Amino acid sequence: MRDQIKDREYFNEFLQEEQARITRFSDKLVNGEVKPERQLAVKTKIHDLKLGILTARYSRGDELSALEGEYAELLKSWGEVWELDNYNKNLKMISLGVLFEGDIVLAKEMKAANIDDWLLSFLLCSWIGSEMENKDVDLIFPKDFSLLQKVVLTHNRRESLQEYLSCWYREDCGCYEAHKSSQKIYYGYWSFEAGAVAKILNIDDTGMEHVPYYPYDLVHYK
């Protein structure tokens, strides 16, 4: 187990329920029960559910090699449902791409779309292995990610990383108190973007194995 809030039984039940939802949606697509104008939305929902399952499996403690294969499949189908304005999902998928060193074909296409955000641009360029062409681009969400930008731009990177992580879980984040819900909506609290930045910059994170929200073993997977 990597998660310290829920137990294995919870995640087993979560995964079973989410997989059942995917099966229902997929069957409707296969059986022609979804109107053409709704098919993309349903495919997007399926992809979102699969990403949640991947995160829950990480929380449960599944082997990283198995999760890498699952991410590779998600990456293949992401191009069909990718949306420029879905910031949080884009950040998560790109961060996982950096951490798993995923295929860069789609990353190149996204970079060509000229994403107007400093953090996504930094992560994409690092994933691809290219220089940021416009280093003066602003953060779309400075309130949320200025501390993470500071990690990149400052000399005290370890301290800045710890500062970002200490402020990561807060009332205005979309996942706040998900673990308290009566419904199974919690799949773990993880700052994959912090892990991706730490990996890119090769930050000395010795002793940070148990820092909340930090995916330590994933940072050192490759």
- Encode pLDDT of 161-211 as tens digits: 999 999 999 888 878 899 999 899 999 999 999 999 999 999 999 999 999
Flag whether 156 is in a domain.
yes
- 82-137 residue pLDDT tens: 998 899 999 999 999 999 999 999 999 888 887 889 999 999 999 999 988 777 89
Instruction: pLDDT band for 156, please (50, 70, 90 cuts).
Output: very high
CA distances from 196 to 72, 99, 127, 176 (A): 17, 6, 9, 22
* Nearest-angstrom CA–CA distance, 210 and 119: 25
> In which residue are the tokens 């997977």 written?
221
1 inside domain: no
The pLDDT score that the predictor gives to residue 114 is 79
Let me know if residue 3 belongs to a domain.
no
Q: What is the pLDDT of residue 112?
A: 83
pLDDT digits (tens, 9 = 90+) for 62-71: 999 999 999 9
Which residue segment(s) compose the domain that 163 sits in? 8-219
Domain membership of residue 192 (yes or no) is yes
Q: What is the pLDDT of residues 20-50, one digit of tens each?
A: 999 999 999 999 999 999 999 999 999 999 9
Position 120 in a domain? yes
Predicted pLDDT at 11: 98
**What would the mean pLDDT of 213-219 be, rounded to a whole number?**
98
Q: Kindly state whether residue 112 falls inside one of the protein's structural domains.
A: yes
Q: What is the pLDDT of residue 56?
A: 98
- Secondary structure of residue 119 in the 3-state scheme: helix
Q: What is the DSSP letter of 180?
A: G
The answer to whether residue 66 sits within a structural domain is yes
Domain total of the chain: 1
Tally of residues, the chain: 222
Asked if residues 145 and 88 have their Cβ atoms less than 8 Å apart, the reply is no
Establish if 207 belongs to a structural domain: yes
- Which position has the token pair 């107007």? 116
